[in-house]
Amino acid sequence: MSELNSIALKILSDGKGILAADESTATMTKRLDSVKIPSTPENRLNFRETLFSSSSMAECIGGVILYDETIKQQSSKGKTIPELIISSKSIPGIKVDTGAKQLAGSTEEKITEGLDGLRERLKEYYKLGARFTKWRGVYNISRDYPSKLSIYSNAHALARYAAIVQEINMVPIVEPEVLMSGDHSAEDCYNKTSEVIEKCFEELILHKIDLRGVILKPNMILAGTDSKNKIEGEDVAKLTVKCLKKSVPSEVPGIAFLSGGQTEIESTENLNLINKYNDTKFIMSYSYGRALQQSALKKWSKNIKDIDSTQKVFNHRAKMNTLAAQGKWSRDLEN
């Protein structure tokens, strides 16, 4: 087993998943504004440290994706944030793309930037304790999109990113996100997501990526948020598993879904159903941001000094998703 493969498996084995705490300062400010808490470096750190020092970190969270600000911060106990995460047997990771910008040649679509200077940044993050990374490509979906240009450009950028990451001995999370917004059907989502993922792996193979040391972070197969033809969870699960069986090479150890705007309960329920139908060798787990944090954030905002109550809410959500990653969740457990 390669070192990269063992890191990927450690992050996702035994029902463990990933806490995506890599919100940019702008995104985190929106989240804190929504609960009427000032977005200062201290408050951003306070909330994140509350989660990172919870008991569910050791039981449920195999990896934490950090943002540049957070990976360089000190916890209130004097440890660095990566040291705090490592102390609960979880693995620190880091978001390394610099965001999605307008794609030249297709004004309605985006290309993710951040390759310039990436090797040097990765060396610094490695010294700080990070052992895996994340890069997100985003794709609009409609009658005309995603275009071939968007699919090819983002796949190429994801592959170049992954090659540099593996060169520094870190595991790349490859995140091609076909967005939920739109009135498209689940069938459209299935077709476009399959095309996007297949192109990503074509480029990853071309760039000589060790697929055993990669984690895929895709969207689930869902109808668009404005679609009149919503589908039930069972169909979400069946289509998602079918798409991944068709599109993902068998060497990939695991898949960690993004929640993509689903509610906390929806994302847990759909992950559970996916694992009921998972007849592949892939570990299928979670890499959730808002779907792990939203209830905890609301609780924390009522009294930011009441660490225990916030951790209790977060521990419950993490536990529910870890059960779902093993197909053992049920709605009765939510109460």
Residues in the chain: 335
Question: CA–CA separation, 53 vs 100, rounded Å?
Answer: 31
* Residues 242/190, Cβ–Cβ less than 8 Å: yes
Question: CA–CA separation, 317 vs 323, rounded Å?
Answer: 10
Dihedral-angle region of residue 276 (phi above 0 means left; psi in -120 to 50 means alpha; beta otherwise): alpha
134 among known catalytic residues? no
Considering the candidates 134, 192, 199, 217, report the single residue annotated as catalytic.
217
Q: What sign for the dihedral angle of Cα 138, 140, 141, 147? A: negative
Beta carbons within 10 angstroms of residue 246's beta carbon: 11
Give the residue from 239, 329, 221, 327 showing the smallest Cα distance to 284. 327
217 among known catalytic residues? yes
Considering the candidates 175, 177, 203, 264, report the single residue annotated as catalytic.
175
* Amino acid, res. 184: H
- Residues identified as active-site: 175, 217
